[in-house]
Amino acid sequence: MTIDAFIDALPKVELHVHLVGSASVPTVQELSRRHPGSEVPTSEEELRRFYTFRDFPHFAQVYRAVNRLVREPEDVATLVLGLARDLAAQGGRYAELQVTPYAHHVVGLPMREVTQALDLAARRSLDEHGVEMAYIFDIPGEYGEEAARITVEHALQEPPTALVGFGIGGIEQERPKYRDAYRDAFSAARAAGLHSVPHGGEMSGPETIWEVIEGLGAERIGHGINCLSDDRLVAYLRETQLPLDVCPTSNVCTGQIAAIGDHPLPRMLEEGLYVTLNSDDPPMFATTLAEEYRVAAEVFGFGRKELAQLARNGVQASYLAEERKQALLSEIDDLLTQTSRGRQTP
């Protein structure tokens, strides 16, 4: 079995992917036709150029433009089902999809209708594509107290059945001015039993990672790539094995890392940190979850054993039911054993 075939066969989970950012070119074209007159291009060639980002603020601007195409409950369900279809084609079995309720609120979608669309799409994702969907509600960090309030109200008052976590994303440098509001929102969400899964250390330094740990009670951190400049933080992450959801191609496309060969993922693993591999906003970055595993193989030199361990890390760090975790872990181990025996056969 070639390394490509191994990656294709490897059961995978996606722990860091955004609802709007998961929209493939065909899905965006469908939404554009459904809602004509937007600034989002309708041709494939123009759309791919539209997805060429100068920096993170430009990426955020494009992301908001695509989000404005999501105007009806049917649009929300279309996005979820599109991701399920795409994941199924690359060995994806489960995803924790990051949804930003505030983005739907500002275009006038009622909480209940968004939740009904998410529930319907989760059922259809499993029935039609064999992909189990869970949801994480996240606050867009640059929008302050109103965004925090709307997000936590939706999470507590009208949650989808598969809601498992509460997060925060967006531009990290804007968060300190709203620190107390974000801490209060996370405190309420955690008290209601939701897991804390904030972004941190993607576009700012270790101070943001410390804040999500100490102020937001992080149980898993999105990105965390800038942890390595703080020895005390590295020691803490190594000791606690707090998972970091790493998205290499995303970090290059948004200008956080100069080139893929410079990505700190290999060093993070050498330091004994707990890392999962994810795609973030795959069509916007011309990647897929499977492609991130190929990058790990081709750029970082990871072999089957290392790739299987990354897949295992994702399963173990997920909020899947324990029996489902064990079943997927067994599948990963069986695949690795079979391919190892095949390579040893004369």
Which residues are the active-site residues?
202
Q: What are the structure tokens assigned to 103, written together? A: 């983005």
In three-state secondary structure terms, 276 is strand
How far is it, in rounded angstroms, from Cα 101 to Cα 227?
29
How far is it, in rounded angstroms, from Cα 220 to Cα 8?
26
- Fill in the DSSP letter of residue 280: B
In three-state secondary structure terms, 208 is helix
In three-state secondary structure terms, 215 is coil
Check: CB of residue 310 under 8 Å from CB of residue 275: yes
- Residue 92 amino acid letter: G
In three-state secondary structure terms, 176 is helix
17: closest CA among 217, 207, 167, 194? Answer: 167
How far is it, in rounded angstroms, from Cα 201 to Cα 60?
17
Token pair 């039993």 is found at 193
Check: CB of residue 73 under 8 Å from CB of residue 109: yes
Q: What are the structure tokens assigned to 205, written together? A: 């330094």
How far is it, in rounded angstroms, from Cα 165 to Cα 191?
12
In three-state secondary structure terms, 244 is strand
Token pair 């100069």 is found at 258
How far is it, in rounded angstroms, from Cα 211 to Cα 121?
34
Q: What angle do CA 275, 97, 331 make, to 5 degrees?
A: 55
| Spacing of C-alpha 64 from chain mean position | 17
